[in-house]
Structure 1
């Protein structure tokens, strides 16, 4: 693949003008080089256009960081917000998947932690759609009749409380499907699979959010409804299947 083709694919996936596209590609691939071993980065170099090679050419040892840190570095290099950085990273990985062999992508995937799966999926053309944070929060705001800042607090609180109820494995599985800025509250819950009644669950949401339990109940209903839309039925039902029957009042109907 030629350099112009690589940038064309990136631009078609992410939008923006040519300068923004090149800046995004440079930011993503430079950051990827920091995460990969020298050998793995050099394997990619051999299959990529000459113009791209300086971005991946590294003699440093691989740094260990997760997807959140990867996107933070991309955002910093581009001068954009985290959601835009994630969109651009997906676009660049989509172009990467068309520029190098399947074996090369598989080798990259072996070095990256599980939370990079949405990006690897782009490179493998399994387009895993993630709802943007802004859209998630706007949907919660509409359903719960809240302003955007209050809806964001509600989403954070419900996801953090929910993560207290589920296992660490379920958190790891769902994290890649959540909007980027809502992943940290979900991680904070800890995945302790804590047993609690509905009243205790609502009290926990209320404590985190700073509202009364009856308000927490309304907010939880809104967040659960939007969560199902965001992650899809299969992951949603897997996540909520372990909740006790008294929690069903918070869940959208089948």
Structure 2
């Protein structure tokens, strides 16, 4: 999937007013995912995404921040803070990004991403998913 198509799908599916908002939620979600998973897996995820989108993952992993442990509530809070949005809107948009990541990646990379998540965050990441993971 190309960058413009990915961002356009986020905007459409999350019912966002602008491409800028779609980019902000995509960036915020990917940066928060990158904080939650190990760097090797983050590299695998980034490699399967359009370069401009994958950079959101790489930017976090290049800072050598240790993998952090947090669940759904903290995940949503971080996405909302990064995207400058309220938590309900951030939760909805993040679910859309997860859904598109399922569609844009292969080799069960998103399944591997979810394996290290606590149950609440794993369930959150699958909400609305078409089950491609």
TM over 0.5: yes
1:100 matches 2:72: no
Residues of 2 paired with 1:96 and 1:51: CA distance? 14
User: Is the Cα–Cα contact under 8 Å of residues 38 and 60 in structure 1 kept in the other structure?
Assistant: no
Structure 2 partner of 1:186? none
Residues of 2 paired with 1:110 and 1:87: CA distance? 21
Residues of 1 paired with 2:15 and 2:120: CA distance? 24
1:26 matches 2:27: yes
Structure 2 partner of 1:10? 10
Q: 1:118 to 1:102 in 2, by over 3 A?
A: farther
- Runs (4+) off by over 3 Å: none
Structure 2 partner of 1:41? 42
TM superposition shift of 1:121: 4.2
Higher radius of gyration, 1 or 2: 1
Q: Among residues 57, 64, 67, which one is paired with 2:69 in the alignment?
A: 64
**What secondary structure sits across from 2:65 in the alignment?**
coil
Residues of 1 paired with 2:14 and 2:42: CA distance? 24
1:114 matches 2:115: no
**What secondary structure sits across from 1:112 in the alignment?**
coil
Structure 2 partner of 1:82? 87
User: Is the Cα–Cα contact under 8 Å of residues 72 and 124 in structure 2 kept in the other structure?
Assistant: no
Aligned length: 125
Residues of 1 paired with 2:66 and 2:40: CA distance? 10
TM-score with structure 2 length normalisation?
Answer: 0.88
Q: Among residues 71, 79, 96, which one is paired with 1:91 in the alignment?
A: 96
TM-score with structure 1 length normalisation?
Answer: 0.47
Structure 2 partner of 1:242? none
Gaps of 5+ in 2: none
Residues of 1 paired with 2:22 and 2:101: CA distance? 14
Higher relative contact order (CA 8 A, sep 6+): 2
CA displacement, residues 122-164 of structure 1 (integer Å, 9 cap, x when unaligned): 4x414xxxxxxxxxxxxxxxxxxxxxxxxxxxxxxxxxxxxxx
TM superposition shift of 1:61: 2.0
RMSD after superposition: 1.3
